[in-house]
Chains A and B, each alone.
Chain A
Amino acid sequence: MSSPLEGLTIRGIRQGLTEKKFSAGELAAEALRHAREENQKTNAYLRFCPERAMEAARQVDERISRGEDPGPLAGVPVAVKDVIVTRGVHTTCGSRLLENYVPPYDATAVVRLERAGGVILGKANCDEFAMGSSNENSAFGPVRNPVAPDRVPGGSSGGSAAVVAQGTALASLGSDTGGSIRQPASFCGVVGVTPTYGRVSRYGLAAFASSLDHIGPFARNVADAATLLGVIAGRDEMDSTSAAAPVEDYRKALTGDVRGMKIGLPKEYFSGLASDTGNLIQGAIDRLKRLGCEVMEVSLPHTEYAISAYYIICTAEASSNLARYDGVRYTFRSASSQTLGDMYRNTRGEGFGAECKRRIMLGTYVLSHGYYDAYYLKAQKVRSLLTSDFHKAFEKVDALVTPVSPFPAFKLGEKLADPLEMYLSDIYTITGDLAGIPCMSVPCGKTADGLPVGMQILTRHFDEAGMFRLAHAYEQAAS
């Protein structure tokens, strides 16, 4: 069946509401009905929250009838990744351990989204505690890629990407620690944005690796993603790592004019690409040249060390952050424990899935006595080197353009047996997280098999505006 959101954008919905073509309540009800029917094909939603959605829509309609501004996201149906807490609505983090967890508060990004008129339809499936690159680590079953149902949607925000690709939400929130927004965006053929570290408050995001975690938007096009980021970005006193830097009006950056913009192609990112992927990225680069961009080769010489540094830092931080799930406070406790120690060990042993256990173990190992200097400290030093690679490149260019993933969406089950191979596929996305710079995936075509491929754009800290301008100009020229 066709989606009630077909052909719509944030602006289109606003126009429809203003011209009384539909009410926010009607759109929400239709979108919910459609999403529920279609969800069995992908398992992209873990849960719907119809009461909350209809209440949010009702408020938008009320504001409009009173002649008030209904907000920049008025009536826009969205999904929220299930690692972001929603008051009164189950938030499982894709884990058995939190299967029955109903948070007593809302994440700041959720509060801002609803204040702007957004309508949350439900919670999106994801890898357990956002750990994975295929969404196959969800305790509630994998998500199928709407474009190719025998393939993964990418991860960890696989559900958030899939709902936008499937037309069961207009936009969504995801989280990115090592590529978890950009890689699924690329696999599903939608826009996904990882903003600067600290640009969006993480209050209410279940912590995975605190020095790397970001919340960011998915959307069908660059303008909608820019609008959504504008709504959720900005300082929040509930998150001391959120940045005070003023939030620009990102829509104003979408001028279509990128003449003279200097673009670097890091040579380390263009070896070992699947041939279709390489050709599509090259085609996109040619288009950028025709738009008047000045394209040059640059080098990020420490790239080959990024995977090792990343998986040391993220697992170390995860092992610490996940210590809180011990059977005392969060819903699940093993039934079979006589002592406190046994209760901790059994609860965690029974509650966590294989990938979480692997990362807790790796993280505990690299932080354990005698190994801290060799692993964690070393990785933090290499992180400095990787970051200074970017700073040096940005002395010469305004933006970097790279592939998002070495290959398009792979088949379900194809990479599950080999965790290291799965880790290695994150090579092009983890560096942006390590440096904390803004980066995004923009669709740049499909392979001969019809699988979407994304182009990654990276810019300087807090230059989301420049990133959006380039992405939007490309999108306009390509469509």
Chain B
Amino acid sequence: MKITEEQVRHVADLANLRLSNEEIARMARDLGEILTHMEKLNELDTDNVEPMAQVLYEAEETATLRADKEKQPLSNQEALACAPLPGGGYFKVPKVIER
């Protein structure tokens, strides 16, 4: 299966990932090779097979929910302690909306 550099650029855009030209060329080659290997799955007829959406079916869907009790969350200060750019109790990012 051939993956073009144009396809790589499109997927990188979807993934919000900046790639250099060298990375794009390498990625096209690697993805092509790996996806070719994955085509092997087409040998299998899976029309009547259920996808495995859960690993273990132990109990009702709600059985694993914890009790809805109030408890102390992380403080604002702790939550922001590792932020690259905190400010005024928030995470700051480059301007999104121009006035």
Binding site for B on A (CB under 8 A): 100-105, 196-198, 211, 237-238, 240-245, 302, 304-305, 307-309, 311-312, 319, 323, 326-333, 337-346, 348-350, 352, 354, 357-358, 360-362, 364-365, 368, 375, 377-385, 387, 419-420, 423, 436, 461
Whether the Cβ atoms of A384 and B84 lie closer than 8 Å is no
- Number of residue pairs spanning A and B whose beta carbons lie under 8 angstroms apart: 162
Residues in chain A near residue B35, CB distance under 8 A: 362, 365
Whether the Cβ atoms of B12 and A361 lie closer than 8 Å is yes
- Given A244-B58, A337-B94, do A383 and B52 touch, yes or no (CB 8 Å)? yes
Whether the Cβ atoms of B84 and A240 lie closer than 8 Å is no
Whether the Cβ atoms of B82 and A101 lie closer than 8 Å is yes
How far apart are B43's CB and chain A's nearest CB, in angstroms?
A: 8
**8 more A-B residue pairs beyond the given contacts A329-B83, A361-B11, A364-B14, with a C-beta to C-beta distance below 8 A:** A319-B15, A323-B16, A342-B94, A354-B23, A361-B8, A381-B49, A383-B51, A420-B30
Whether the Cβ atoms of B84 and A352 lie closer than 8 Å is no
Question: Is B37 located at the chain interface by the 8 A CB criterion?
Answer: yes
A387 and B31 CA atoms in complex are apart in Å by 27
Among the listed A100, A308, A381, A384, which residue makes an inter-chain contact with B40, where contact means beta carbons less than 8 Å apart? A308
Nearest chain-B residue to A103 (Cβ)? B82
Which residues of chain B from 77 to 95 have a CB within 8 Å of any chain A CB?
78-79, 81-85, 91, 93-95
Most buried by A among B38, B46, B78, B79: B38
Whether the Cβ atoms of A357 and B34 lie closer than 8 Å is no
Nearest chain-A residue to B17 (Cβ)? A348
Whether the Cβ atoms of A365 and B96 lie closer than 8 Å is no
Nearest chain-A residue to B7 (Cβ)? A365
Whether the Cβ atoms of B15 and A385 lie closer than 8 Å is no
Residues in chain B near residue A332, CB distance under 8 A: 84
Residues in chain A near residue B63, CB distance under 8 A: 244
Residues in chain B near residue A364, CB distance under 8 A: 11, 14-15
Whether the Cβ atoms of A419 and B34 lie closer than 8 Å is yes
Whether the Cβ atoms of B33 and A361 lie closer than 8 Å is no
- Given A104-B78, A245-B58, A361-B8, do A348 and B16 touch, yes or no (CB 8 Å)? yes
